[in-house]
Chains A and B, each alone.
Chain A
Amino acid sequence: MSDVYGIKVSRQGHDVKSAADTNLSFSSEFNTLKIAKIIDMTTETEVAHGLGYIPTFVFLRCNKAGEYMMGNPPYTEGMLSSVYVDGTNIYKLVAAASVAAYVVLFSDKLDE
């Protein structure tokens, strides 16, 4: 029996048997980030995530103009705030006006 196994789905117009990895919409050969939780931090500065590990995360937040962007905005648009995590909590530190923020937490750990 072959030791090659798994699931692949190619992008439309590409033969799944010969498609480059970049033309696969899904492949069980590669790990993916799996969403554990999405937390609204808009009115919070500290939230217990309850995951029991340090999660990989991405966050969307508003700049001073109220526009959503991923990560920390440039200084002139309100950089003096941040979202970060540890094994217990998500933190939002705000040095200026309160900002809206949504944090996506994944099942994948940061410290390994």
Chain B
Amino acid sequence: MAYGIKIAKPGTDVLEETDPESFLVHTGYNTLKISQEGYGTTTVVTEVQTTIDITHNLGYNPVVLFYFTHPEDSKWHQAPSRADINQGYSYYMGGGWVYKDTNTITLKLNDSGSAPIPSPPGEVTVEYKYYIFIDPATDSWYE
């Protein structure tokens, strides 16, 4: 028996439409559900990688989004990535994350630039934001 919730876009017949792109809500498809999110600031010191452990206690490796600012202009970058002189900055700032174990992720901010991509001049402040989703990164939902 068919069940669930469907809300179609304006001008679309919710009973007849089959293209999932025509729906605002369609519970026949999974939705990324946020389990935990956090915002913070931290310092990054020249030639030292900053790591931040986030405990989620889900017991599996979840989908994660992680963002950080380049201190020079406070614009936000999506990790994993780096921002450096090739993109208009005067020094390197990189961000990424790893699964430390099935209950913890480790956010990484680093300044491991080397000539001709210099590290920050001393200690800088970086803003960061992360989302940890209920949804496992390795789930095979539609198999």
B65 touches A58 (CB 8 A): yes
Residues A25 and B87 in contact in the complex (CB < 8 Å), given A30-B35, A72-B81, A111-B39: no
B87 touches A81 (CB 8 A): yes
A4 interface hit (Cβ, 8 Å): no
A26 interface hit (Cβ, 8 Å): yes
A82 touches B81 (CB 8 A): yes
What number of B residues sit within 8 Å (CB to CB) of A?
41
- Select from chain B the residue with minimum beta-carbon distance to A9: B27
Interface 1/0s, chain A 1-28, versus B by CB < 8 A?
0000001010100000000011011110
B131 interface hit (Cβ, 8 Å): yes
Interfacial chain B residues near A24, Cβ < 8 Å: 33, 134
A32 touches B31 (CB 8 A): yes
Interfacial chain A residues near B80, Cβ < 8 Å: 71-72
Interfacial chain A residues near B141, Cβ < 8 Å: 11
Partner of A56, one of B4, B67, B73, B79: B67
A44 interface hit (Cβ, 8 Å): no
- Quote the shortest CB–CB distance from A87 to chain B (angstroms): 9
Interfacial chain B residues near A72, Cβ < 8 Å: 78, 80-82
- Quote the shortest CB–CB distance from B140 to chain A (angstroms): 12
Residues on A facing B (Cβ under 8 Å): 7, 9, 11, 21-22, 24-27, 30-33, 54, 56-59, 71-72, 79-86, 91, 93, 95, 110-112
Given A21-B35, A30-B34, 7 more pairs with CB closer than 8 A = A9-B4, A9-B5, A24-B33, A32-B33, A54-B76, A72-B80, A80-B87
